[in-house]
Chains A and B, each alone.
Chain A
Amino acid sequence: MENRFAIVGICPLPEEQRERQYRWQRVKGVRPFFAGTVLMLVLIVMGCLLCDLFVTKDPGYLDLHNYGAPPDREFLFGTDTMGRDIFAMIWYGGRTSLTIGIAATMISTVLAVVLGALSGCAPSRADKLLMRMTDILLSVPALSAVILIQAVLGEADVLSISFVLGITGWMSIAKVVRSEVRQIRECEYVIASRCMGGGFFHVLWKHLTPGFLSSIMFMVVMNIRNAIVAESTLSFMGIGLPAEVVTWGSMLSLAEDAMLANAWWIILIPGAFLVVTLLCFTSLGNHLRRNVSRGESNL
């Protein structure tokens, strides 16, 4: 008993406590909703990529005997008013829709990064001008701009529609890139880096790029979402891809006929796929955004 009162001085604390705490943190970080949506997204993307393996019907085949058939054993999701199998069209159409979304996002991301970084590094006058322009472009109703440009370009194909969506969707990302670049440029670690002799390219590569990449990641994901929405809207209105090119949007362009026949499956099923995919992208985007803001709040 006596030796409990002996001076032992500074003893190291057992490490296991910290370890346990860290692991627990990681497990708790993942939300069930997010995990579910990611799983769903993976399923949909895989399904669209590998649809050749399990889809037996040709999505373009017009089965004139079975047009407007409700879902049954043969036509899992029914057929549309032109007699095409909706189940097959969903997967092939999804492939096109996703391709357009990703291609358009790639174009707008590249544009946004170049213009945003340029504006962020430019002297304040040029920066002001560039950002003013971006602001004005941003407040132009996006779809009317798209309609205008698409109408000018004439008949759409996958490439041209991606291009149009790409050049109309870069503004908000560019603004984030620009403000991040401005902010990071003022940061003391960049000043320190310059003191140590780091040149422009060193700073750009080592500090600026990783800095804004993480904060635009969620916007990029959201941009995929927006591009898919815009494409489907355009195709639905008949300005985008023609009905022969199957996408989720062009499938819905038959909605008017379907409405007359009260064929709900033609409207509901492609729409549901569209909405679920968009939801998955949104969830992914929100998760990325939360991660970014958490990183900041830790400081």
Chain B
Amino acid sequence: MTALLDVNHLSVSFDTPQGEIQAVRDVSFSLQAGEVLAVVGESGCGKSALCKAIMRLLPASGRIRSEGIYVNGTDIGGMKEREMCRLRGKLFSMVFQDPMTSLNPAMTVGAQIAEAVRVHDPKIARQALHDRVAELMRLVEIDRVQERMKLYPQHLSGGMRQRCVMAIALAGNPAILFADEPTTALDVTIQAQILDLLRSLQRTLGMGTVFVTHDLGVAARAADRVAVMYAGKIVEIGTCEEIFRDPKHPYTWGLMRSLPAFARGRDTLYTIPGMPPALLHPPKGDAFACRNPWALAIDYEEEPPLFRVSDTHYAATWLLDERAPKIASPVAGVADGISDNCLVGEGTSDRKDDRPKEPDRESVCAGTAQVSAGKQEILLDVQHLTYVFPLNKKTVFKAVDDVSFQIKRGEIFGLIGESGSGKSTVARCIMNLYRPNGAKILYKGIDTCDPALFRRHRKMLQTMRQIIFQDSGSSLNQRMKVWDIITEPLQIWHITPPRGSMRAEAAFQMHYVGLDASCLNRYPTELSGGQRQRVAIARALSMEPELLVADEPVASLDVSIQAQIVNLFRHLQKEHGFSFLFIAHDLAMVEFLCDRVGVMYQGKLVEEGATKEVFSNPKHPYTRALLDASVRPVPMPVFRECLYRS
């Protein structure tokens, strides 16, 4: 039987003024009809370029080389653009990452779907077209179709837009669907819905699907087979079960170990050291060698071929060579433990019985509780915080509605909620960026909402409380050098640096957050996302504050880098007693890091309590929905399926 899609030795490179960037290097894989292949990897590893190359949607600077891309046995690699146009939409179609930008803002969604229908059936009658659009919209579970057809994309929510994009992709009944991070830009609860919808559509329509994601959890939930990409190559490919139960490549080990779920019972997350290589001049040998604690000498000299593990499972690492020393997989046991746990939970519908059985986590929580028990001083006390934005002259938008919570000294307080739930507004109110009316925010007993009191204690308040933002790209001035950025608070308050010069001070702080001193004279644009976030943290730390407000500090980072930053927070809290307000939408990170959490929903704080308590025994329906919906990093549904099948 020929495969639906068979890609042979595909390489993609981009010409840039700096040279040739090799985004995809010699990738081969195949996809059967009705199968879901997840392509997993960090950002910049070439996974989207791979899909776009197959569909030939790359920009003009992209160059594709291959020894054949076969769809149902015919080679499309050498086809002309005109022939490709006819295939796109019909043979294969694509769903993109950001539904906010992938729809044309100047056309109604109905018109855009209709356009996709008409491309492949130019003579379709008006009424038939209308019916087909309605049918497609119902297929992707949009209700009130007639109304929504006439709306412009900006009037729809993110989830709705992504559904419309899916309707467009399905318009031509494609045999293959490429989904390029279709859920990344969405909220947790919506993510789960879209993922389930995609999965059910794929089953009913029998499409072969290539699912690109950076999230192992999503891959586990949706995929039959998983391909792990690193630096433009597929380093490991196998069925879902093989990859999660018995991964062979050290990179896959690293990825799995850096998931918070695998850190149960540990203080710190495992992190993959270092950063992904630049693909401008890929290093000689195995690209992963310089981050691989099990790297062999040969890894630095020669690229490993794909070794066969089983008929379906291949991995590109010299560790599988017969001459190599045998190493026991550091994740196999952990994965087993977790999957068993999940299986126990499967029978009972109630979480309460399931969760407290994890002894490790309990002891950790108890441990931190003891640590914080000694210092019960309340550092921050938010009382009845309400904040409204005027939308226009008549209406206002209540972003935060009567929120009260407390943060004790040395504690990490997590604030969870989806986008638009008001969590960032809370942070900004606390930092006195917004002036709420009638609320009280007590910091060490000083009401910071009172302008007179704020002015009197301004220096203390502004040095002792610091904020860290989500997007390190925009929170650092790209025209300033790193040392200048880090010492900016010192310059503001005209403080003579305690360590001699400003540069020495900056170097000290950088060392503290794990940055190399060689970055001192660089500009933020020359750093990677993780490094930039460390610079932002170093800047916040340079005043030695007591309270750090971190507004989604890891949301824009890759999994392995997220782990590094979260570990850093953990370290700062345990060793140096900083207190944190940690705002996030990623439940797993919050569960791992925070002592107490608050859940925000539509501006209200609907639930608050110790992390363990909230996660194991959610009281508010929204919290329950959030927990159910969150794409658990533990690949339990798939394990379930895999195990049932076998």
Contacts and interface: CB of A to CB of B under 8 A. Distances in A.
- A touching B, CB within 8 angstroms: yes
Interface of A: 2-13, 17, 21, 24-25, 28-29, 187-189, 191-199, 202, 206-207, 210-211, 214, 295, 298-299
B473 A207 contact: no
Interface in B290-342: 290-298, 300-301, 318, 321, 323-325, 327
A202 B294 contact: no
B116 interface: no
A10 B292 contact: yes
Contacts of A211: 477, 479
Contacts of B465: 195
A10 B433 contact: no
Contacts of B30: none
B368 interface: no
Instruction: Tell me what chain A mostly uses at the interface: helix, strand, loop, or mixed.
Output: helix
B431 interface: yes
Contacts of A5: 296-298, 318, 321, 323-325
Contacts of A298: 525
Interface stretch (B40-48, B177-185, B487-495): B487-495
B266 to A, nearest CB: 21
Interface string B446-476: 0000000000001100110111010101111
A25 B291 CA distance: 27
B474 A189 contact: yes
Given A10-B273, A21-B280, A195 B466 contact: yes
Given A195-B466, A197-B493, A6 B297 contact: yes
B616 to A, nearest CB: 35
A299 B478 contact: yes
Contacts of B296: 4-8
B395 interface: no
A90 B473 CA distance: 50
Given A5-B324, A29-B17, A195 B295 contact: no
Contacts of A206: 477, 480, 488, 491
Q: What are the 6 closest A-B residue pairs judged by CB atoms, nearest first? A: A197-B462, A188-B475, A4-B298, A196-B489, A189-B477, A298-B525
Contacts of A195: 431-433, 462, 465-467
Interface string B529-545: 00000001001000100
Given A197-B462, A295-B525, A188 B478 contact: no
A69 to B, nearest CB: 51
A263 B300 CA distance: 75
A279 to B, nearest CB: 24
Nearest to B274: A10
A13 B474 contact: no
A9 B325 CA distance: 13
B478 to A, nearest CB: 6
A28 B525 contact: no
B462 A13 contact: no
A28 B18 CA distance: 8
Given A9-B293, A28-B17, A214-B479, A197 B459 contact: yes
Given A7-B325, A10-B291, A197 B463 contact: yes
Interface in B400-425: none
Contact of A197 (B273, B289, B298, B489): B489
